[in-house]
Amino acid sequence: MLELKVQPAPLQVSSERIEILGDALRDEVNLAVWQRQLPEHLAAFASSLLAQGEPLAESLSIELADPDADPDLHGLLSGYSDLPGQAAFLADVAWLLRAYACLLDARRIGLRLRALDGAMCPRFHVDHVPLRLITSYAGPGSQWLGEGNLSRQLLGGAQALPRDGALVEQIDCGHVALVKGERWVGNEGRGLIHRSPALPAGERRLLLTLDWLA
Question: What mean pLDDT, rounded, does the chain reach?
Answer: 93
Mean pLDDT of 7-17: 94
Per-residue pLDDT band at 161 (split at 50, 70, 90): confident
Per-residue pLDDT band at 119 (split at 50, 70, 90): low
Per-residue pLDDT band at 42 (split at 50, 70, 90): very high
Weakest-pLDDT range from 68-72, 134-138, 188-192: 68-72
pLDDT tens digits, 165-211 = 889 999 999 999 999 999 999 999 999 999 999 888 889 999 999 99
CA 199 to chain centre: 17
Q: Which residues pair with 211 in a beta bridge?
A: 110, 132
* Whether domain 34-212 has CATH 1.10.10.10: no
